[in-house]
Amino acid sequence: MYTVVSRQDEQTSLRIVGSIGHILVAPEGPAQLLEALFDPRIRIVTLTVTEKGYTVISGGGSGHEPAHAGFDGTTASLLPAAVR
């Protein structure tokens, strides 16, 4: 959320902009995230990647397998999996 300040002549107006309507955190719900990305109404996707977003997936089994074809849990595979 942020505020836009407009000044014209001697008038000042403030407008609050709430541009973030909803957030999803990939590690907490990768299936829900991909489902949201499949929604045809989605037009813009932004990512904030911290050092923990660069995941190394170990080999096979025990919770390390991809939840969806093409999505291995890494940030780099997220968007290509969503536009399949």
pLDDT band at 7 (very low <50, low <70, confident <90, very high): very high
pLDDT reported for residue 16: 92
Spatial distance between the Cα atoms of 53 and 41, rounded to a whole number of angstroms: 26
pTM of this prediction exceeds 0.75: no
Residue 68 has pLDDT above 70, yes or no: no
Go through the chain and tell me how many residues it has. Answer: 84
Give me the chain's average pLDDT, please.
75
